[in-house]
Copies of this chain bind each other. A is one copy, B any other.
Amino acid sequence: MSLSTSWVSVPENSDFSLYNLPFGIFKTDKKGPRVGVAIGNEVLDLSYLEKKGYFKGIDLKDKKVFGRRYLNDFMALGKPVTNRIRERIFELLKSENDELRDHDKHRSRALFKQSEVRMMMPVKVGNYTDFYSSKEHATNVGTMFRDPDNALFPNWKHIPVGYHGRASSIVVSGESVRRPKGQMMPQGAEVPVFGPCRLLDFELEMAFITCKEVELGESVTTHNAEDHIFGFVLFNDWSARDIQKWEYVPLGPFLAKNFASSISPWVVTIEALQQFRVEGPEQDPKVLPYLEFEGKKNFDIDLEVSIMPGNGEEQVVCRSNFKHLYWNVNQQLAHHTVNGCNIQVGDMYASGTISGPTPESYGSMLEIAWQGTKPVKMSDGSERKFIHDGDTVIMRGHAKNNGMRVGFGEVRTKVLPATFYENEDN
Contact = CB atoms under 8 A, between A and B. Distances in A.
Interface in A119-173: 126-127, 130, 132, 153-155, 158-159, 161-169, 171
A326 to B, nearest CB: 15
B252 A163 contact: yes
Nearest to A344: B168
Interface string A72-89: 000000000000000000
Contact of A254 (B164, B180, B340): B164
A369 interface: no
Interface string A250-270: 111111001110000000000
A290 to B, nearest CB: 5
Please indicate which of the listed interface residues A126, A163, A347 has the most CB atoms of chain B within 10 Å of its own CB.
A163
A340 to B, nearest CB: 5
B258 A171 contact: no
B340 A192 contact: no
A243 interface: yes
Contacts of A289: 194, 423, 426
A114 interface: no
A414 to B, nearest CB: 13
Contact of A340 (B162, B180, B423): B180
Contacts of A259: 216, 339-341
Interface stretch (A181-189, A228-236, A295-303, A354-362): A181-189
Interface string A261-301: 00000000000000000000000010011100000000000
A341 B250 contact: no
A166 B163 CA distance: 9
Contacts of A252: 163, 248, 250-253
Contacts of A216: 168-169, 171, 178, 259-260
12 contacts: A155-B192, A155-B249, A163-B251, A164-B165, A180-B340, A192-B288, A194-B338, A197-B339, A255-B341, A259-B340, A259-B341, A290-B423
Given A219-B421, A255-B338, 9 more contacts: A130-B251, A132-B251, A159-B183, A169-B342, A181-B339, A217-B419, A258-B341, A259-B339, A260-B340
